[in-house]
Amino acid sequence: MTPVDGLLGLASRAGQITLGADLALREIKGGRAALVLLDAGASEGTRKKILDACAYRGVPAYILPQDVLSRACGKEGRMAAAVRKGKLCQRMQELLNEEKEPRREQTPGKVPSI
């Protein structure tokens, strides 16, 4: 379990997340979504609808590995989630950005050259 999984569960229990593709799309269009998460198993149609809406409204979207979203929130078959603005959303986005960036290996005691 990653820290993002824990935050997803916490956001779900706190009512800061909307689960399901149709409801997430409604949150995006209503301007209430600050972050969107998609399951890798989502259909092409669902993925296109949600990513197009996110691009149009400037909402960051991340694709999570298959079934991570469902397992973390405790609801089977959920392919999309919209997270509302707040501290949980900010921290989740920070963690997701860290996972996307490649980590540079460093040898202890040596300064990396630029």
- Bridge partners of 63, per DSSP, are 38
Number of domains composing the chain: 1
For residues 3 and 8, what is the distance between their CA atoms, to the nearest angstrom? 9
Contacts for 12 with CB less than 8 Å, ≥ 6 apart: 19, 72, 73, 74, 75
Residue 103 resides in a domain: no
Could you tell me the residue range of the domain that residue 70 belongs to?
3-98
- We report the CATH number of the domain holding residue 46 as 3.30.1330.30
Q: List the pLDDT tens digit at each of the 114 positions of the chain.
A: 677 888 888 888 889 999 999 999 999 999 999 999 999 999 999 999 999 999 999 999 999 888 888 888 877 888 999 999 999 899 989 988 887 665 444 444 444 434
Which one-letter DSSP state was computed for residue 35? E
Residue 106 resides in a domain: no
